[in-house]
Structure 1
Amino acid sequence: MAKRQGGGNYLFESVDNWCKIDIPGVVSDVATDSEDRVYLAVRTAQAFDDNTGAILAFDRDGNHLNTFGEDKLRTPHGLWITPDDTIYLADTFDHCIRTYSPNGDPGMVLGVPGEPGPAGSPFNRPTLAVTSPVSDDLFVSDGYRQNRAHRFSPAGVDPEAASPYAHLKRGWENSEWELTASWGGGDLNYHDDLSWGSTEKHGTGPGEFLLPHGIAVDNEDRAYVMDRSNDRIQIFDRDGNYLTEWSTPSPNQGVFDTDGFMHVPGDGRMYILSPDGSEVAVWGERGHEPWQFIGGSHGLWIDSRGDIYIAQVGVPNAINKFARI
């Protein structure tokens, strides 16, 4: 039985039994393309020496269309889809970012698959890669081990800005991107007593991270980093200069809607934040009903109609759809 959720002007109704198949694993994240096709990042097997994953595609009614990426993916974590339908997948245990077409054709690889970056250098268990809505830049939260955020620009666009980070470049498999900003725990911007790149460090101060689990970019090119284990969202300009922060319990990800409000899954709930960070609505609860979260609210996407998809980790076969009403 469908149930109404949300608050204020944000009301949703659960779409029970949306997915028409049993998903073969844990759904880490979800995103939709320009035709509202739905893509799930699925961890099909997770063991010490046997991590596998795939991307599953569906129509908006939950009918399975295709599966791809099984030959490469190890631990799918964060999904992002651009307006031209390029799919970005952050593979945490493979230490890289991969792209795919909606049909599953592989594109570029950013990072060295299977090899974690050394201290200060991308990537060591990255969590999400997103594109800016106002520039051609790519922002990455990096993640479980580096406690950093990075900005990449198309190669050759801003070579002067790239030069301070030449020592962090690691011989990527492609030459499409240049690292043009990098910041976080251990950075000299925030720790005068630490050498450059001591990114095993983490902290609670401005610009320090304790698991940057996701990242979002607004229409002014500001980066919002989901500093999950510090229970906050930190906001930076595009160069990584600290601006402010919002207190939010265990933010996993942040997605802006068309009105500039941010929707944040975290701590088994959903938070809707205004452009100044104030809470507009808090909804969601744990439980076994179709509208409840049996696992953790981990990934989120908003489709063209304002409907919300929520991926849950901690349990297999858990994806929720809520229709905007």
Structure 2
Amino acid sequence: MTFGSGEYTYKADMDWAKRPEGWTWGWTPGMACDSQGRIFVSSRCDHPLVLFDANGNFLDSWGEGILDTAAAHGIYIDPDDNVYCTEFNRHCIRKFNPDGALVLTIGTPGVPGAQDGDPFNIPTDLAVASTGELFISDGYGNTRVHKYAQDGERLLSWGEHGTGSGQFDLSHCVRIDRQDRVWVCDRENRRIQIFDTDGNYLTEWTDLLEPNQVCFDPNEDIVYITELAQQISIYTLDHELIAKWGGGGDTPGDGPGQFIGGPHAICIDAQGNLYVGEVFTDGRWHKYVRQS
């Protein structure tokens, strides 16, 4: 069975990962691909960050004793293959080098911001701009976005609770496109807002079903979106719909291209294959193999 349309047609592979025997898995809110072709799976379980190759062979497990087993949320890999893990209910961001060594913690683990709006209060995700500056969505408690220097110094924050431009109901994911525009999934307002790197509002997309995460095609002006209401969508950066699949919240299922809980994580590898992780269900990972 295939999904998508035209050049963006995929075949589902639900059994791509050769998981270590006896390990158990929780919700999977984060997945990411690095330049070496490694697939990182961030799950709420005893092994919170697990690595596979593109053929699904198990490679390694990172973060035991550092990452909380119930705190996984966002994961991001920068061009130098540094790995950033957002621990949402630990109120911090962890940065690992490409060999898995912890090199930076932003925020105080287990301690929320002292005042309303101060970082962090249940943060959700992180992205790195071409300048090396970090953007962090501080979503569940603060409904804000913070901009940081590479060394962890805060430079700027914006956002507040609401429905207007530059306001958020839940700033759930942040990503940076090749034009250095800052995309923020404002999930509970069912939209994506787009800003410049100084936090100035540019535009928004409103025809979405609770957008969880986005990822950008490394070679084309294409964005891939997971929507909590059991849907994956593919658009051009000019907001032209290319394809979508899933039940749109009406027909949950466990078959290929269906979702039991909701698609949350999404990433793309060098071959254009997509990897998707679900929440509200345990250990459910999808691979969509590009056919064209």
Task: Calculate the TM-score normalised by the size of structure 1.
Answer: 0.82
Shift of 1:129: 0.7
- Identify the residue that residue 79 of structure 1 maps to in structure 2: 75
Structure 1 residue 16 corresponds to structure 2 residue 17: no
- Give the drift of 1:181: 1.8
Shift of 1:102: 3.7
SS in 1 for 2:188: helix
Question: Contact 2:52–2:58 at 8 Å: present in 1 too?
Answer: yes
SS at 1:253's partner residue?
A: strand
What do residues 16-48 of structure 1 show as CA deviations (whole Å, max 9, x unaligned)?
31112264222111011111111111101xxxx
Deviations 1:35-70 (A, max 9, x none): 1111111101xxxxxxx6610111111122221212
Residue equivalent to 1:216? 175
- Spell out the pairing of 1:200-239 with structure 2 (5 A cutoff): 202-239=161-198
Which residue number in structure 2 is paired with residue 275 of structure 1?
A: 237
Seq. identity, %: 39
Equivalent-residue separation in structure 2 for 1:106 and 1:9 (angstroms): 39
Corresponding residue for 2:92? Answer: 96
Asked whether the 8 Å contact 2:262–2:280 carries over to 1, the reply is: yes
Cα pair 2:47 2:61 within 8 Å, conserved: no
Name 2:265's counterpart in structure 1.
299
Write out per-residue CA displacement over residues 147-180 of structure 1, whole angstroms, 9 at most, x where no aligned residue. Answer: 00111123xxxxxxxxxxxxxxxxxxxxx12222
Cα distance in 2, alignment partners of residues 184 and 303 from structure 1: 32
Following superposition, the deviation at residue 236 of structure 1 comes to: 0.8
Instruction: Select the residue among 4, 25, 43 that pairs with 1:6.
Output: 4
Q: Which of 126, 129, 145 pairs up with 2:126?
A: 129
- Matching residue of 2:40: 39
8 Å contact from structure 1 (residues 41, 79) kept in 2: yes
Amino acid in structure 1 at the alignment position of 2:283: N
RMSD over equivalenced CA pairs, Å = 1.4
8 Å Cα contact 2:47/2:62 also seen in 1: no
- The gaps in structure 2 that reach 5 residues or longer are none
Contact 1:5 1:284 in 2 (8 A): no
- Does residue 181 in structure 1 map to residue 156 in structure 2? yes
- Quote the Cα distance in structure 2 between the aligned partners of 1:293 and 1:23: 19
Q: Paired residue for 1:140, among 136, 141, 155?
A: 136
Q: 1:116 to 1:130 in 2, by over 3 A?
A: same
Measure, in 1, the Cα distance between the counterparts of 2:237 and 2:40. 27
Q: Aligned pair 1:264/2:258, yes or no?
A: no
Give me the whole-angstrom Cα distance separating, in 1, the residues matched to 2:162 and 2:25.
37
- The answer to whether the 8 A contact 1:262-1:273 is kept is yes
Which residue does 1:199 correspond to in 2?
none
Name the SS of the counterpart of 2:197 in structure 1: coil
Question: Which sections of structure 1, spanning at least 5 residues, go unmatched?
Answer: 45-51, 155-175, 186-201
Q: Is the 8 A contact 2:245 2:257 kept in 1?
A: no
Moved over 6 A (4+): none
1:104 shift after superposition: 2.2
Can you list the C-alpha shifts for 1:189-208, whole angstroms capped at 9, x where unaligned? xxxxxxxxxxxxx1101110
Q: Which amino acid aligns with 1:311?
A: G
The alignment of Structure 1 onto Structure 2 pairs a total of residues equal to 278
Q: Partner of 1:120 in structure 2?
A: 117
